Amino acid sequence: MIRILVNDGIDASGKKMMEDAGFFVSTDKITQDDLMTKLNAFDAICVRSATTVRKELIDACPNLKVIARGGVGLDNIDVEYAKSKGIIVINTPAASSRSVAELVFAHLLSLSRFLHDANRNMPKSGSTDFGKLKSSYAKGGELEGKTLGVIGMGRIGQEAMRIGIGMGMNVIAHDPFMDVVVLNVGSQQFPHTANIKSSTKEEVLSSSDFITLHIPSLAKPAIGSEEFAMMKDGVIIANAARGGVIDETALLEALNSGKVGGAGLDVFENEPTPRAELLVHPKISLTPHIGASTEEAQLKVGTDLAKQVIAALS
């Protein structure tokens, strides 16, 4: 019987699909260190972001036929090396796109109206400083009519563009590998498409009121001191892509100087222990890497992953 290890969890529907296909599915977590000796008992492994599958683990498990990643990025897997060994590598790039994009806008809206800070301070001050707080948070802004800059025009970036267009924003984007994307932003009853051409990175940075990043991990941060210097004063930026895409030291400097008006962070350089300055900064809206963590996304990830694993092992 084909044996599958689901090491970072999966929606029950996905597990059932693989079991109904005749596979044995284990959801008992095996630690990263123990995988070296225990993974070879399985034909396939399904992971999210917590488990890494590197060259050494691949070499230790010659029985491995499939590596499946529930989610978009594959930076925790040595993909090319696995393929060179004849292992099929799978991911689910479309399943969580909407969930991540919606979280980005939750951060942008929270920061533009100071919701993140009001929720910290109102319980502490009670009714005694209500008027003072109201005055402090009375200078928020709307997203309509503002320019949204999207860096990375893949599936999640495109969902962010759709939401931005739907909110009446002017959307510009940059991607070094794509020239243009055609978005369906209308309804079935009122179909409408929008063409978003790739602008230069410099244009997006200098023209945007809000910036959201949807790019993979890179050798160095995509946004550092040089990039912050190009931005409008008071820009609001969101990162729900990967920790390290933004230089966090440069971000803190830009926040403290007022260059950046606010930052929404779902990912961090040192997960699961983000640096303390980020966690307490009044201009940062925080979430603990939950971009894809909606019931709808988990269902789509589980069923999409299961379908691909069944096809690969059948």
∠247-164-227 over CA atoms, to 5°? 25
- List 155, 174, 242, 281, catalytic entry: 242
Q: Which tokens is 106 given?
A: 């939750």
Find how far residue 299's CA is from the centre of its chain: 17
Is 289 catalytic? The answer is: yes
* 54 catalytic per annotation: no
174: left (phi over 0), alpha (psi -120 to 50) or beta: beta
Report CA 157 to chain centroid distance, whole Å.
Answer: 10
Out of 113, 269, 277, 289, pick the active-site residue: 289
Does the annotation mark 271 as catalytic? Answer: yes
Check 203, 269, 271, 277 and give the catalytic one.
271
Q: Which residues are catalytic?
A: 242, 271, 289
